[in-house]
Structure 1
Amino acid sequence: MSIETGAASGRVWLITGASSGFGRAIAEAALAAGDTVVAAARRPEALDDLVAAHPDRVNAIRLDVTDTTRISAVVAEVARSYGRIDVLVNNAGRGLVGAAEETTDDELRDLMDLHFFGPAALVRTVLPHMRERRSGAIVQLSSMGGRMSFAGVPAYSATKFALEGFSEALAQEVAPFGIKVLIVEPGAFRTAFSGSGTLQESAELPAYADILGPVREAQAALDGTQPGDPAKAAAAILAALDAEKAPLRLTLGNDAADAISASLDAARAEFLAWEHVSRGTDFDS
């Protein structure tokens, strides 16, 4: 692999899953801000138009984040070519609908590789470069399903819960080095996420037809009608990174804000209802 470069303009971004959806929108927003983008995708040819429009500030590279053996080489080449990596965006992902009992080991492990082990490997590989410069930012694309869950997406939420737990601790570890961590929790945005060629579904068990049927139908109906605007999401992410006090979590979309707010209220109410039990399990003094 070889990256053709000149002098980097602005910040240097490494964005995974950059060929479409949030990845593409974030790349476009970074370019509009005058920055330089290394756009990683399984099919980098899908980025030919972006490279043609910004030949001096975009490099499209082939990367499947589940191939963790390739991550070190990619990061080393980006760092060598530009001298730094200012922002890592772990965005590559996809959906999976299926009840817990319907989800196979392979489906769960494949999704965990994509949403957790791949991003974790990228974080570990990028951090030495950021620590050396004592600056940088790591953007973790999670989901409203990374803070709460519902029937039909146990595997998807499990992977995002894992990413959020990892990232919450990570933020505390790297803050002394001047490195920010931003967990992004979108709702339904108008990307290809719910498309029939993108969204995966586990084999159905008749026992769950009444429970998951409405979930599957709702996901299919969402495709192309999602309320969220990816360009506005990308602008919000850049604004959060540039804020004097960046948030740890950034919820995006009215649907995500409503669902997460309701989940937090319910969790608080449940805790208070059972707090006397929680506090009654220590040894008697």
Structure 2
Amino acid sequence: MTKTWFITGANRGLGLGITRAVLDAGHRVVAAARKPEQITKALSGSGYGDRLLAVRLDVTKPEEAEAAVALAKQTFGGIDVLVNNAGYGQLGWFENTSDEQIRNQFETNVFGAMHVTRAVLPLMRERRSGHVFTVSSVAGIYAVAGSSTYSASKFAVEGWMEGLADEVSPLGIAATIIEPGFFKTDFLDPSSVTYGAHDIADYAEQVRQFTEWHHNMNHKQVGDPTKLGSVLIQLNEMKQPPVRFAAGSDASGVVLKKAESIRADADRLKDLSASTDGTRETAAA
């Protein structure tokens, strides 16, 4: 069955890889980006014809999300699958990160995804079917030094999506969080990732090592964006798709480590946890 996919941040990286995979599978794609001409250029000569619609969208602007979704409905009749992929990484130590940088991170990674989803859901509710994917990160379940702000935005995405999945399930709509590990994209390029606006001497050496490690990792990541797109198609075709999916062997390893850590702490401290319970009053006979 041919479906219409709406993919944000489709001009490069994961978004472009997912777009290619979905189009190659014979589906239609509304590919959205702030510079849609980059999408057209990247996919020119691929023979996708009128199955590809490139649209302008800055996810931080609700009115642009509504306009892009309206155009998608006008062109293809609706949207079957939404992929909230647009985002960037605000890395660096918390104290080095300005208030403006933190707010910008949430505006794109959290509120941007919410704007687009809010525009798409009425179409899915009308049909009583659909699937919302939101790209989080392995940093959305496991935070480390240097990822505090980025992880905060992705933790927020995961909490929102987990609750959303429960809200829309009775309406025949699925919601899945995608937690990628390191994928071979330009995520670590200066055009995508940013670091702290300030320099605090106490953190200087840690920051230097952290930044150098990420520079050395750039374009050497193991994950393949197009293969991720193929997996999203498989997840969409499942009768009971998962609420979370760890993308990459590195990501699944981190998720398992975090799950084991949470369980170990809960088991070790369960008696102390229970000690906070109040006395239950017995109802009068």
TM-score normalised per structure 2: 0.93
Q: What is the RMSD computed on CA atoms of the aligned residues? A: 1.4
List per-residue Cα deviations over 1:68-107 (Å, max 9, x = no partner): 2321122122112221111111000111211111111110
List per-residue Cα deviations over 1:95-129 (Å, max 9, x = no partner): 12111111111101101010110111111111111
Q: 1:211 to 1:276 in 2, by over 3 A?
A: farther
Correspondence for 2:283: none
Correspondence for 2:106: 112
Aligned residue for 1:23, secondary structure, equals helix
The offset of 1:52, in angstroms, is: 4.6
Correspondence for 1:48: 40
| Structure 2: distance between partners of 1:212 and 1:257 | 26
Q: How many residues align?
A: 277
The offset of 1:12, in angstroms, is: 0.8
The offset of 1:67, in angstroms, is: 1.5
Amino acid at match of 2:77: G
Q: Is the 8 A contact 1:187 1:252 kept in 2?
A: yes
Q: Is the 8 A contact 2:56 2:68 kept in 1?
A: no
List per-residue Cα deviations over 1:31-73 (Å, max 9, x = no partner): 1111111110111111124255322111111111011232112
The 5 A counterparts of 1:47-196 are: 47-49=39-41, 50=43, 52-53=45-46, 54-196=48-190
Aligned residue for 1:226, secondary structure, equals coil
| Structure 1: distance between partners of 2:62 and 2:148 | 25
Correspondence for 2:6: 14
Structure 2: where are the runs of 5+ without partners? 281-285
Correspondence for 1:240: 235
| Structure 2: distance between partners of 1:96 and 1:43 | 21
Q: Is the 8 A contact 2:140 2:154 kept in 1?
A: yes
| Equivalent of 1:23 in 11, 15, 18 | 15
Aligned residue for 1:200, secondary structure, equals coil
TM-score normalised per structure 1: 0.93
Q: 1:67 to 1:51 in 2, by over 3 A?
A: farther
Counting aligned pairs with the same residue, the percent is 39
| Structure 1: distance between partners of 2:107 and 2:249 | 29
Aligned residue for 1:96, secondary structure, equals coil
The offset of 1:254, in angstroms, is: 1.6
The offset of 1:284, in angstroms, is: 2.3
- After TM superposition, the runs of 4+ consecutive aligned structure 1 residues lying more than 3 A away are none
Q: 1:220 to 1:43 in 2, by over 3 A?
A: same
Correspondence for 2:204: 209
Structure 1: where are the runs of 5+ without partners? 1-8
Q: Is the 8 A contact 2:136 2:180 kept in 1?
A: yes
Amino acid at match of 1:273: R
Higher deviation after alignment, 93-102 or 180-189: 93-102
